[in-house]
Amino acid sequence: MTTELDPGLQAELGPIMAASAQMDKPEVGDVLTRRRYARAMFEHLASARAAVPQVEVTEYVTVAEDGTEMTLHWYRLADTSGPGSAALYLHGGGMIYGLDEVGALYDSVVRGYVAASGVPMLVPDYRVAPEHPHPSPVQDCYAGLVWLADHADELGVDPGRLAVMGDSAGGGLAAGVCLLARDRGGPSIARQLLIYPMLDDRTPAPDSALASLLTWSYDDNITGWQALLSGTAGTDGLVAYGAPARAGDLSGLPPTYLDVGDLDLFHDETNRYAAALTAAGVPTELHVTPGCPHAFEILAPDVPVSKRIVAERVRRLRSV
């Protein structure tokens, strides 16, 4: 593992990370301060991205497992019939940031994937912790998948060509949704795409060589998992739908694509999950990108390494 940023990222992120290092850091468990910081950052990042006007968005509503109404955002290329495939896209946010904090940025991110791949995407406004701990977030996301499969005909989608995709917390939720679908005999999933997924509630011991390069820190991770799991993160007996790294059986899951940077706190757990999928007979493709921290392609989308990894994801989307 390198301990230096990719040269292109260094030029873009180096000054930002240096300035961030001088800021007061929220204490472990301080969700509200983290949300305030996140909203400002994500809105700034969204404002710097180019518009993608050729993608249209329609809102729908479904009912989650506990009877709560949930908004669904359907993204598709305007004036096209689409390829027949579709993806459920689950946004990141450390299990504690909802669309209120990250929505402006993810609107742009999802539009970009749809425009590049032609594959329409459904984005559920899933609830987040600590107000809505496990199992609400993964059950909300699963309800989005069920809605997509149930409404495939009216959306012009082949229900046999559905992917589940997510990044960071959304990647962990995507893995949990695929486990739920397998165990419940739910909708067929043709592919899961897990982007630097948040899979393991057992946060590793801090590595001083890595700490200054993390864009999602050890304290952030502990805060997110403790919020999701109501203070039980790291204990015995947790179910895999909330923390997929706990799964003892990964057989029968859909072909999987994963990617992660080697300066990401989730590097090791992503590699372990990929190895476990392979051992379970699941066709698995893993990309580990040197010199890249968590969410590098969102923080610096125009850097060559960011464009390369996004192109890999688009390639896999097009193959669904």
Exposure pattern of 198-227 as b/e (b: 16+ CB <10 Å)? bbbbebeeeeeebeebbbbbbbbbbbbbbb
Question: How many whole angstroms from its chain centre is CA 36?
Answer: 20
Please state the length of the chain: 320
DSSP-assigned states of every residue in 238-272: --TTTSGGG-S--TTPPPEEEEEEEESTTHHHHHH
Give whole-number Cα distances, 146 to 142, 168, 186, in Å. Answer: 6, 22, 7
Active-site residue flag, 73 = no
SS3 314: helix
Gap between the terminal Cα atoms of the chain: 32
Whether omega before 204 lies within 30 degrees of 0, making that bond cis, reads: no
Active-site residue flag, 264 = yes
Q: Which of 136, 168, 217, 306 is catalytic?
A: 168
Give the Cα separation of 35 and 27 in Å (integer).
13
Q: Which of 117, 201, 294, 306 is catalytic?
A: 294
Whether omega before 130 lies within 30 degrees of 0, making that bond cis, reads: yes
93: left (phi over 0), alpha (psi -120 to 50) or beta: left
Q: Which of 91, 140, 264, 306 is catalytic?
A: 264
Give the Cα separation of 207 and 210 in Å (integer).
5
Residue 194 has which token pair? 């897990």
Active-site residue flag, 168 = yes
- Residues annotated catalytic, as ranges: 168, 264, 294
